[in-house]
Structure 1
């Protein structure tokens, strides 16, 4: 039955992505200044890279979507770097150069915990790199205040994880940019939904290979070809991963009013993956003034890989500048580096 829908079983793999060759380089790319690993949830090795600016106005942390990795955003890193931002991108567990079974999950919280760990890691890195002044209270040393604004940019699945990071650990970021966040996906056929429920009961961690029609979500043929040739990309997914996404949506759906950072939401008008109209009630619940929302008609799911991606970037530029100009490290929400607000 699965083959009828272009889905086939795939052997479980802890593919050592860190051993793969780097994707091809394009003129619009900026090569990372350094790579690294940190131990995430359950000690899973999480790969990350940075594009450091010598005199940054802030840092943007990129959370990629399903089936891809942080190095697919080298052109975005260059665009941000040219505007004075340092950039970081971590590969989610099971994707890119990070460890873990490809496309598998043990609940949504592991992805959120990994991302929050990385956000704190980058806050500390900037505090050390930019020589944050020491702070002392009653003779006791305190963690330093953030030294620059930190913005999280989450795409699709990464957008869902980013929203949960903001909900549970708001101190780790000062603003959130979302491109096609996977809050509500297009409905799948009844037979596929039945197969997913069955696999969740009898074989939740058996990976399947999804059809790879990248042209449906990305209109730039250069990026489509690059994706197909990229050894760090894959289309493997387990029923447990699909359930983790559903779990994340259930966690969020009634809590939009608790999100208390500026949010820029960029939606694709020709999105065949995410249904932006199905999440209206969630966005309507946000506190007044928190959300800036734009629907880009004709663009496909991967806004930042679209032939018309400059339309999205033209909206991002003034939003980032406004956030940077209004950022205050002493504001109530600018909690100290290394602290936690929610378990």
Structure 2
């Protein structure tokens, strides 16, 4: 049974303007979780995941990245992901000040997986575990393909690519906080630089790492992510690959299994 959850919002001063963050907290949290959303979306799409985590004892904090959701900045423009990592660390410090002494887990989806991986490289000493869902890491070729055009094609993310649940795609398509336009050149260049940075800065040592991925993910294909995850985890990571699942495993038709795998992993990672 899910514990009672208190939701709240925070506004922080980020590296390039204000950062809005959501909070979902149980009455007496035993851990902290940072949920790191993907490209073009926002943290409000992760209420169900946050409810599962809060029911498992975590105080959950989830920022909207610069240029996303309710945070400041030109829509979907990220010129340097290092600044996004710095903003995420500010949210971690906010959570730690509110709930001192609790272990911290970072859970990153898609672009958020790239941010979370870089966060673990920069701040891994303060983490208890890292979870990557459909992560943009390793060999992701979309930025290079789009940057080859003189003008970036006006092609938005297909809602049908997210999940086999048609309600997920319909809600995404109707969400005014989701970006439905083309990708932007500065962000694509930042993706290329940060993919190279993460690849060049080695693994995360003994930090427990869980990789979740759908084997029908056409936005961030599984074979491209694998070398990045294996490099980051040093071959010691835990992985769960879901047959038939698309990009957003936390919103998939089998998400109950995904949530069970996640909480089981966290039980082991957070054990005394």
| Structure-1-length-normalised TM-score | 0.72
Residues 214 and 243, structure 2, Cα contact 8 Å, conserved in 1: yes
| 1:214 matches 2:159 | yes
Q: Which moved more, 1:32-41 or 1:181-190?
A: 181-190
The structure-2 alpha-carbon separation of the partners of 1:243 and 1:192, relative to structure 1 and needing over 3 Å to count, comes to closer
CA change 1:32–1:228 in 2 (3 A) is farther
Structure 1 residues 38 and 252: alpha-carbon distance in aligned structure 2, compared to 1, 3 A threshold? same
Match in the other structure for 1:142: none
Match of 2:195? 249
* Alignment gaps of 5+ in structure 2: none
- What is residue 83 of structure 2 aligned with on the other side? 110
Instruction: Note if contact 1:167-1:259 (Cα within 8 Å) is conserved in structure 2.
Output: no
Residues 166-185 of structure 1: matches in 2 within 5 Å? 166-184=120-138
Structure 2 counterpart of 1:334: none
User: Are positions 1:225 and 2:225 aligned together?
Assistant: no
* Count of aligned pairs between the two proteins: 269
Q: How many Å apart are 1:47 and its aligned residue?
A: 0.2
User: 2:5·2:54 contact (CA, 8 Å) conserved in 1?
Assistant: no
Per the TM alignment, residue 312 of structure 1 is displaced from its structure 2 partner at its CA by: 1.3
Match of 1:194 among 148, 171, 193: 148
Structure 2 counterpart of 1:235:
180
Q: State the secondary structure of the residue aligned to 2:271.
A: helix
RMSD: 2.4
Q: Where does residue 18 of structure 1 map in the other structure? A: none
Larger C-alpha radius of gyration, 1 or 2? 1
Partners of 2:227 and 2:30 in 1: how far apart?
A: 34
Q: Deviations over 1:281-340 (max 9, x none)?
A: 4333456674111211110011111111122112111111112213xxxxxxxxxxxxxx
Aligned-pair distance for 1:259?
4.3
The gaps in structure 1 that reach 5 residues or longer are 1-27, 128-146, 200-206, 327-343
Distance in 1 (CA, whole Å) between partners of 2:211 and 2:110 is 11
Whole-angstrom CA distance in 2 between matches of 1:88 and 1:185: 29
- Aligned match of 2:13 in 16, 35, 39? 39
2:118 aligns with one of 164, 167, 170: 164
Report deviation, 1:255. 3.0
In structure 2, do the counterparts of structure 1 residues 123 and 111 end up closer, same or farther at CA, with 3 Å as the change threshold?
same
The structural deviation recorded for 1:279 is 4.0
Residue in structure 2 matched with residue 152 of structure 1 by the alignment? 106
The structure whose RCO (Cα within 8 Å, separation 6+) is larger is: 1
Q: What TM-score comes out, normalization by structure 2 length?
A: 0.90
| CA pair 106-289 structure 1, distance change in 2 beyond 3 A | closer
SS at match of 1:152: strand
SS in 2 for 1:253: helix
Report if the CA contact (8 A) 2:128-2:270 is conserved: no
* 1:90 to 1:71, Cα distance in 2 relative to 1, 3 A: same
